[in-house]
Each structure stands twice: as structure tokens, then as C-alpha cells.
Amino acid sequence: MITEEREVLVDVQNLRVEFKVRGRRPFVAVRDVSFQIYKGETFGLVGETGSGKTTIGRAIVRINETAAGVIKFRGQKINGVISKEVDRMVTQKIQMIFQDPMASLNERAKVDYIVSEGLYNTKKYKDEDDRRAKVEKALLEVGLLPEFASRFPHEFSGGQRQRIGVARALIMEPEFIIADEPISSLDVSIRAQVLNLLSALQKDKGLTYMFISHDLSVVRFIADRVAVIHKGQIVELAETEELFKNPLHPYTRALLSAIPTPDPRIEREKRVLVYDPSCHDYSKDKPKWVEIKPGHFVMGNNVELSQYETMID
Amino acid sequence: MSKPILSAKDVVVKFSLRGQILTAIRQASLDLYEGQTMAIVGESGSGKSVFTKTFLGMLDANGWVDSGTIMFEGQDLAKLKTEKEWLKVRGKKIAMIFQDPMTALNPLRTVGMQIREVLEMHQGLRGEDAKNRTIEILGQVGIDNPSMRYGQYPHEFSGGMRQRVVIAIAVACNPRILICDEPTTALDVTIQAQILELIRKLQKELNLTIVYITHDLGVVANVAEHVAVMYAGDIIEYGTAEEIFYDARHPYTWALLSSLPQLGIKGQPLYSISGTPPNLFTEIKGDAFAPRNPRALKIDFVHRPPYFRVSPTHIARTWLLDPRAPKVEPPEAIKAMKAKYARYAT
Ligand SMILES: Nc1ncnc2c1ncn2[C@@H]1O[C@H](COP(=O)(O)OP(=O)(O)O)[C@@H](O)[C@H]1O
Ligand SMILES: Nc1ncnc2c1ncn2[C@@H]1O[C@H](COP(=O)(O)OP(=O)(O)O)[C@@H](O)[C@H]1O
Ligand SMILES: [Mg+2]
Ligand SMILES: [Mg+2]
């Protein structure tokens, strides 16, 4: 695939996010992270708990402040100080879906209000009839009945609540959706339904996704390209199958070796690799972020990179 | 095959909830054999925890074993009444660990004291002996520098290390059966892989019988020799790991396996199960999975299927195995798994 010709929708360069800690130096949750997301693709972001995945998503939608770096959407800078218009554009065009549908939905509000919230905030409707029609359309699009609008979240199953979360994003007619562990809290049999829904909506509407997950098997199935994040740093990024075939960074290799496969033969023979960060000697030879092969990026110093070169087939 | 170490037969568990009766376990049966590692897999609410808690008398106060027997070392556990009777079994002979290690740990006492206490109570060890044995066990469950860790509190341990401590407490009194209820669900995959390895190691070293509860079929493939599939309070299929993964017979097992992204084809919709599990407050007629099963037969809605035997180690509760049933093809992904296995075998 010739990646250069594709349209970049989201461009993140040298992103840094810090959290203030009382009486101490700020905690760096995301450091020097760079990646681009192409229009129409599903970009997977995988890493363990606390690695900074949600923080990156929240920085893009402007919930988290950025300490350094640039985030661009359709070529326009959207982090830091921006105009009211650009802010409004971000609020509309970029939507986020969260992991726990129950916690992310206001329990005391009816579905009608929950789904309309973005519309209310941006006044993006003509009148009450228009708003109601939009809610109805969004509910239908995610496979829910329009009459559900008058019910409360607790009356729904986990899968249905996640659909409400998706409807609430869709109603804004976004171009880019950040799905933060959207199926992690769902039951196995319901997960497939929600994954299928997200894929169908992407096809229909030409949506671009950033799919955040700690579950590599799901990411492998859904994502076109995958970035692996470890302790706030992206260590490797490649097209999905390339990453699974040729993992280079020792962290990626350890992560891949740990995912259980639903096949007893494979599981019994597999060897789990353990990642030991002290395997890197960055005292003199500093690591850099390099495109080691078209579309395949990895973090490493000169010694490591020349070793990775020999691993690529 | 030898005699089972524990044999649960036709167990029914009910709960009373706001004046209504919920039937959580509907005549489930299961035999456990010495030294076996068995996984129970099923969606949340299928009854995995409730069923196994009956082996230790750990049901919530509003629940009871309504009928059935649970034979263990010559006595029927379903008939035990008092806490005093249960204390001879729970922890001592049958131990259980849970998803959240903090439920089993006392945040105010050092990890060493918590293991030592168990040794003193159950094994009669005292003083230096108890301490040394505690340190030995900490090392055995993979905790580095155990003599230093002995004096630390649970909050000084990471999630994965805490789960190791809980495992240490559980094995400290040499139980015959260890029930692990989703012990790695909250952990990262790399940590999960290590805990799974530890459980396998302890199983061998201590000849434990292990029941491993999970909703993750990848984990099942990793730990289990035998697999029980639960749906709506019943074990609907049981077999060796090979039989369940490569030759499943129940449509629910088919559906569960086929909906896994690992078995899907990129760019195509995943096989998905429509609807939701049945309401346990109302009586379930026929095969509980029938309303969600596109391949359901008429009889599935009327009569509950008995177990049909597929092999000496494999049974399934589905009318599809009745000699009179029409031939029904499993989903594509299941056929592909089977074909792949056939290639391995040759
Ligand atoms: N609001 C916050 N204040 C302080 N620390 C935070 C905040 N949000 C996240 N963090 C920390 O930043 C790190 C990354 O968190 P997060 O992005 O949520 O990780 P992930 O989504 O990969 O699990 C974690 O160590 C987390 O504790
Ligand atoms: N204390 C209780 N009161 C009422 N219902 C309960 C209670 N405990 C469990 N249940 C019900 O029993 C069923 C089985 O639960 P459980 O064994 O916890 O499922 P699993 O472990 O497979 O997720 C569920 O429908 C659950 O809601
Ligand atoms: Mg997160
Ligand atoms: Mg449970």
C-alpha cells in the first residue's frame, strides 16, 4: 500500500501530556508521541492499563491540556489556544465513545436527553421537531427503537447502553470517532454485535476511527494500522498484519506473545516473552522514532535499529 | 477413569430477591477428577461463580441449594448447614480465589502475617517454622525477595503481585481443590500470562485439582485440559479442550467460538449472537439457548435436551445429537477450526 498518497485526517506530532502532582514534579503521562491517522481508516492504539491511551484520546478532544506538541485535524491546529470556530468544529467533528457505557451515561437523564446533549451544546438543530427527528434517526442507525428515547439507561443491557453511547456520538455527524475500549466491558456474545455495528457505520458514513484497546485480538481484527504504546511512549507502529508478522520492539514482541489464542494446540506450545526495559542501553546512544520500512515505525537507538533491520523480511 | 474427587449432581440454586425467586443454577452436574485442570467458561450471569460457590458454602445469604448433591470425600456438601461444618472444608480442602485480590487481603496487616496465620491455624506451625515456611511459599508463587516482602502491606504490591499473594494464602493449607474465579480478568495480558504460568506450575508441584472460571476462551485454551461450557445456569457441553475447541456440538458453544474476533475474517461482519440470555426469574422451557439459536429445532422450544454422549470424555445437552435429529451444519468458523485441527493431526 502506498501510504504517502493518503489523506491525513489527524496529525499528532511530539505530543506531551503532563499531570500536576501536588508538591512534586509533574507526571508525564504521554511523551513525545507522533502519529498520523488517515481518512477512512481504523487506527488501533494498544497498550496496557495506564500506558496513556485514554490520555491521548482526551488530548485530541481537548479534555486534557497538552504540555508540548501539535495536534492537527484536517490540517488545522486544534490543541492549545484556538479560535471559537475551530473549537466548535472539534466539538462537532470529533466524538469519543467510552468503555463503560453505564458510567459514561447520565443515569438520571432519559435517552432522549443523553443522545441530544451534543446538539444542545452546539445548538445544532432548528427546532424541537428537528431535534427529535435527529434522535430518532441516530437510535435507528445503532439498531435501537425510537421509542427507547423516553427510557432511562438502567433499563437497558450493557450492549444496548453502548449503542446509546454510539448514537450520542453519531448525532453530531462526526468525521472522526475515538472509541476508547468500546467493547471491553461487554459480554463475549455482545462484543461481536457492537464491533459489527462500528464497522457498518464506518462503511456507510466514511468514518475514521481511533480504536483504543488493551485487547490485541480485537485490534487485529478491526484496525488497519496499529500503534503500540508503553508507559506514555509509542514504541512501534505499522499496518496490522505487518506488526503481527514482524514485531520488532521487544515490548511489542512480549505483548504479542502474551495474548491467549483460542486454540489449545497453539497455547500449549507457545513461549511467553517477558519485556525487561533494562535491555535498552540508552545512556549514550539515544533512541529515536524511525520509519524502518515503508509504513513501519519503531523506537530504537542505532545499535537496536541495525539489529531490527536484520529481523525484517 | 478413576473416581471423581468431587461430584456435583443436578444442583439447583435459587435466590430470593425482592419477593421473587430467581433460579440461578438449573440442575447442573459436574465431576472433578484429581489433578485435573478444568475451565468453566460462559458469559457473565451464566452461573459460573454461584455454581462453584456451592462447593464451599459461600452463597450469599439470600441464596440456597434447593436440590441436588455435591459429593466430596464421602459427604454431601449440599447438606452442610453450620459454619462449623463448612470450616472443615472451606479454605482447608477447597479454596477459592477471586478477580479482585483485595477482597481476600486485609489492608492493615502485612502479607507475611496473613499467610502465616493460615499456616498456624491449619498446619499447626509456630514461630520460626511458620515464618520460614511463609517465606518459602512467597518464593514458590514467584515473589522476588520474599524475606523483604514478608513484612510489607498489600498496598505495596502491584495488582499481579497481590494476586500471587492471594494464591499463596490459598495454597498455604494444602487444599485438594483450588477454584480460580476470573483471577486475571482485571490484569494486563503480560501479567495474566505470568499468573497462568504460575497456576500451571502449582498444579503440577502440588497435584492440585483446579477449576478455572473465565469468560475468555483464549485463557481456557491456555490453562484447561477439560472444559465445561455454561449457559443460563446449566452446563450445556463438557469435554477435553480439544473436543470443545475443534469438535464442539452445542449451538451455543459454536456461537461463542464463532463470535471471537480471532476466528473472524477481516472486513467481514463477525458471527454474532442476537438477543440476550434468558430471564432467570421465569421458568425456562426446552433448551435455554433456543430463542437465540437460528438453527433451533421445534423440540428445542418444548423439551429440555438430555446429555448425549459424543465420546467417553465429551457430552453435550442438545437435541442435535439425537439420532432422529436432522443434520445441521455448524457455522463456517467452526468448520474451519475443525479442518485446521485435522491438518495438525495428519
Ligand atoms: N487526571 C489525571 N490526573 C493525574 N494522573 C492521571 C490523570 N489521568 C490519567 N492519569 C495518569 O496517566 C497515566 C495514563 O493514564 P490513561 O491514559 O488513563 O491510561 P490508559 O488509558 O492507557 O489505561 C496513568 O498513570 C494515569 O494514572
Ligand atoms: N445474591 C444474589 N441475589 C440474587 N441473584 C443473584 C445473587 N448472586 C448471583 N445472582 C444471580 O445468579 C446468576 C448467576 O450469577 P453468577 O454465578 O455470579 O454469574 P457468573 O459468575 O457466570 O457471571 C445471575 O443471574 C446473578 O444475577
Ligand atoms: Mg483508558
Ligand atoms: Mg462470576
For a mutational test of ligand 2's pocket, the pick from B50, B55, B59, B213, i.e. the residue with the most ligand atoms closer than 8 A to its C-beta, is B50
Q: Specify whether the CB–CB gap between A171 and A119 falls below 8 A.
A: yes
pLDDT score recorded for residue B26: 97
With a 6 Å cutoff on the Cβ, whether A99 touches ligand 1 is: no
Give which of A125, A107, A103, A104 is closest to A116, Cα–Cα. A125
The number of the ligand 1 atom at minimal distance from the alpha carbon of A229 is: 22
Chain B contact present for A48, CB below 8 A: yes
Residue A170 predicted with pLDDT over 80: yes
Please check whether residues B40 and B166 belong to one and the same domain: yes
User: pLDDT per residue over A125-147, tens digit each?
Assistant: 999 999 999 999 999 999 889 99
**Min Cα separation A120/chain B (Å):** 33
Q: How far is CA A230 from CA A51, A71, A235, B326, in A?
A: 5, 20, 7, 53
Position in ligand 2 atom list of the atom nearest CA B182: 21
Non-local (6+) Cβ contacts of B73 within 8 A are B93
Sheet containing B6-17: order of strands: B20-32, B6-17, B63-72, B75-76
Say whether pLDDT at A157 is over 90: no
User: Is the CB of B259 less than 8 angstroms away from the CB of A196?
Assistant: no
SS3 at position B309: strand
DSSP of B37-89, one letter per residue? Answer: EEEEE--TTSSHHHHHHTTTT---TTEEEEEEEEEETTEEGGG--SHHHHHTT
* Interface check A200 vs B, CB under 8 A: yes
Predicted pLDDT at B175:
94
The pLDDT of residue B176 is: 96
Sheet of A225-230: strand order equals: A94-97, A176-180, A208-213, A42-46, A225-230, A233-239, A296-300, A288-293
Answer whether residue B88 is part of any domain.
yes
| Residue B264 backbone phi and psi in degrees, to 5 | -80, 170
Q: Structural domain tally of chain B?
A: 2
Last residue of one domain, picked from the residues B224, B249, B266: B224
User: What is the distance, to the nearest Å, from the Cα of residue B70 to the centroid of all Cα atoms in its chain?
Assistant: 16
A108 CB-contact burial (10 Å; exposed 0-12 / middle 13-18 / buried 19+)? exposed
Which residue of B11, B12, B15 sits with most ligand 2 atoms within 8 Å of its CB, as the best mutation to test the pocket?
Answer: B15
Closest atom of ligand 2 relative to the B213 alpha carbon:
21
CB count, 10 Å around CB of A19?
13
The answer as to whether B110 is a domain residue is yes
Residue A155 at interface with chain B, using a CB cutoff of 8 Å:
no
CATH of the domain at B251: 3.40.50.300
Question: Does residue B305 fall inside a structural domain?
Answer: yes
Same domain, B303 and B211: no
Question: Of A192, A215, A255, which has the smallest distance from its Cβ to B259's Cβ?
Answer: A192
In the predicted structure, residue A275 carries a pLDDT above the cut 90: yes
Q: Compute chain B's Rg from CA coordinates.
A: 21
To 10 degrees, the CA torsion angle through B117, B123, B128, B132? -90
Pocket of ligand 2 (CB under 6 A): B 15, 17, 22, 24, 42, 44-50, 60, 62-63, 280
CB of A263 within 8 Å of any CB in chain B? yes
Point out the ligand 1 atom lying closest to the alpha carbon of residue A180.
21
| Residue A4: pLDDT over 60 | no
- Where is mean pLDDT largest: A188-197, A282-291, B333-342? A282-291
Confidence of residue A19 (pLDDT cuts 50, 70, 90): very high
Count how many pairs of residues, chain A against chain B, have C-beta atoms within 8 Å. Answer: 114
Residues B265 and B145 in one domain: no
> A262 vs B257: CB contact, 8 Å cut-off?
yes
- Nearest beta carbon to residue A258 from set B192, B245, B262: B192
Average pLDDT estimate for A151-170: 89
pLDDT at A189 over 80: no
Kindly give the distance from the C-alpha atom of residue B237 to the centroid of ligand 3, in angstroms, as a whole number.
36
Q: Is A2 on the interface with B (CB under 8 A)?
A: no
**Residue ranges in chain A assigned as alpha helix (H):** 53-60, 84-93, 101-104, 111-122, 128-141, 158-170, 188-205, 216-222, 240-245, 250-258, 264-269, 302-311
In this complex, is the C-beta atom of A185 within 8 Å of any C-beta atom belonging to chain B?
no
B173 and B57 within one domain: yes
Angstrom distance (rounded) from CA A181 to CA A191: 11
Q: Please give, rounded to a whole number of angstroms, the shortest distance from the CA of A261 to a CA of chain B.
A: 5
Task: Identify the domain boundary among B175, B192, B224.
Answer: B224
Structural domain boundaries, residue B55: 36-65+78-224
The per-residue pLDDT for A100 is: 75
In this structure, are B257 and B209 located in the same domain? no
User: Could you tell me the distance, in angstroms and rounded to a whole number, from the CA of residue B44 to the centre of ligand 4?
Assistant: 6
**Residues A19-34: what's their mean pLDDT?**
93
Q: Is residue B10 part of a domain?
A: no
Q: Based on the fold, state whether residues B141 and B212 are members of the same structural domain.
A: yes
Question: Which ligand is nearest to the Cα of residue A45, counting in written order?
Answer: 1
Interval between CA B45 and ligand 1 midpoint (Å): 31
Tell me what percent of the residues of chain A surpass a pLDDT of 70: 98
Residues 6+ away with beta carbon under 8 Å from A283: none
Q: What is the ipTM of this complex?
A: 0.90
For A178-201, what is the mean pLDDT?
90
Domain ranges, ordered by start, for chain A: 3-311
Q: Is residue A214 within 8 angstroms of chain B, CB to CB?
A: yes
Note whether B102 and B171 are same-domain residues.
yes
pLDDT of residue A23: 86
In this structure, are B183 and B282 located in the same domain? no
| pLDDT value for A187 | 81
If one counts every other C-beta atom within 10 angstroms of the C-beta of residue B330, the result is 21
Highest mean pLDDT among A118-127, A179-188, B134-143: B134-143
Pair (B211, B235) in one structural domain: no
pLDDT for residue A246 is more than 90? yes
Mean pLDDT of A243-249: 97
Asked whether A55 lines ligand 1 (CB < 6 A), one says: yes
Output the average pLDDT for chain A: 93
Lowest mean pLDDT, pick from A146-155, A254-263, B233-242: A146-155
Please tell me whether residues B173 and B305 are part of one structural domain: no
Query: Which of A27, A65, A185, A211, when mutated, tests ligand 1's pocket best, judged by the most ligand atoms within 8 Å of its CB?
Result: A27
Q: What pLDDT sits at residue B1?
A: 56
Nearest Cα neighbor of B95 from B58, B45, B60, B132 is: B58
HSE-up (13 A, CA, CB side) for residue B242:
11
Q: Are B104 and B98 in contact (CB under 8 A)?
A: yes
Contact A195 B261 (CB under 8 A): yes
Residues of chain A positioned with their CB less than 8 A from the CB of B272: 189, 192-193, 196
All residue ranges of chain B with pLDDT < 70 are: 1, 346
Give the residue among B188, B272, B206, B129 at the shortest CA–CA distance from A255: B188
Q: How far is CA B99 from the centre of its chain?
A: 12
Between residues A121 and A231, the one the model is more confident about: A231
Q: Check residue B121 and give its pLDDT.
A: 86
Residue B8 is assigned to a structural domain of this protein? no
Q: Let me know whether B94 and B167 are in one domain.
A: yes
Question: A277-305 burial, b for 16+ CB within 10 Å, e for fewer?
Answer: eeebeeeeeebebbebeeebbbbbbeebb
CATH architecture of A3-311: 3-Layer(aba) Sandwich (3.40)
Calculate mean pLDDT across residues A284-311: 95
> What pLDDT does residue B275 have?
82
Q: Is residue A192 within 8 Å of residue A217, measured between CB atoms?
A: no
Model confidence at A69, pLDDT cuts 50, 70, 90, reads very high
- CA-nearest residue, atom 3 of ligand 2: B15
Rounded to whole angstroms, how far apart are CA atoms B234 and B23? 11
Sign of the C-alpha dihedral, residues A195, A197, A199, A202? negative
**A108 has pLDDT over 90:** no
Residue B157: CB atoms within 10 Å: 18
Neighbours of ion ligand 3 (CB under 5 A): A 54
